Structure 1
Amino acid sequence: MKANVGGADKWLRIAVGVALIAWAAMGGPAWAWIGVVPLLTGLFNFCPLYAMLGMSTCKTRS
Structure 2
Amino acid sequence: MSIANVGSLDRIVRIVLGAALILAPLLGFVASVSSTLGIVLMIAGAVLVGTGFISFCPIYRIIGASTRSNS
TM-score by length of 2: 0.77
- Report the Cα offset of residue 9 of structure 1: 1.0
Query: Is 2:48 the counterpart of 1:38?
Result: yes
Q: Deviations over 1:1-52 (max 9, x none)?
A: 0000012111100000000111122243222112001111111000000001
TM-score (norm 1): 0.87
2:60 aligned to which of 35, 45, 50? 50
State the structure with more CA Rg: 2
Instruction: Using the TM superposition, name which of 49-58 and 19-28 deviates more.
Output: 19-28
- What RMSD over aligned residues (CA atoms) do the two structures have, in Å? 1.2
Segments of structure 1 that go 5 or more residues without pairing to the other structure are none
